[in-house]
Structure 1
């Protein structure tokens, strides 16, 4: 299993080794110990989500109030997705920037998204995404930023026609969310990460 840091602190691309034979393919999709080596703490999985999407679906930008927020480990079992990690932490050196990873059922990569980061998922071919989450869903803590905010500028593929939910379409821009005090801060992220490493 290869774990690579993305350009956003707290985000990682995970590429499993795959073993092929006449029966098919085997791969380790999640290894708590290997991930902990990269994170400096173990990811506690408290909920799993299964998201079935049609091509064109754009989910996000989603995050939860920090602390505790919600770390995510995202992979797919079918289809093709473009996974975006967005730095929404006020005061971060990369605030407003993003990185992305192509997720499919060929390379079987996954993305780890730390607490306090924004996440969006664009479906390029009908498929299923699976999320391992560090916290259970808490509606009162859920937040969002409009995924089509031009200031964020997610690079969607040419010809991709995004289909967003009414809730995501009504979400504030990154600037408006910051003005409302809805975004986490980089200091909160650092403090929370330190507390996890101390357990």
Structure 2
């Protein structure tokens, strides 16, 4: 396994995207979902990127990349379509110890972007190390069909339960046993059936008082 899988917290952290085309736009979309602070550097910009700049959602530097542009970045993406420029960006990023993703030439970078399926706090990623993006996309679509929006509700519920359990200091072994019992009741199916009352009944039976949707502050949201 060449790449070590890890999730990065990029909230409010600086990310640099070098390139102004459709690929750069997709990278910006993912970074915006991660709440990163994005700077785009390119002499020509996709209209949608320009619109993001006008909205104040990304910072635009409408010029060619120059040495020093990566200073302070937490992560770098380069997608210029010009191998010489991409190599220069990758070289500077590596010298600064900044993770860099080189679109179309993964061997030049130090990280790659996986295909992603997000269901609330549940994030499932698929990667072929940049060698077969079409295959990663195929697997992602299969995962999207298998894991619907009900998993977002389950993730929110389990997260709220875990936070409350941690305040009660019942111990890791006890908590693990409880979650295994919860998982055995196919919560995703119950959410698909909108069986909120049944879920609350199970929570009362397994966890005791104080763990209903209302008491946990979890919204009973119906799957889309």
TM-score, scaled to structure 2: 0.24
Answer 1 or 2: which has greater helix percent. Answer: 2
Higher RCO (CA-CA < 8 Å; seq separation 6+):
1
TM-score, scaled to structure 1: 0.26
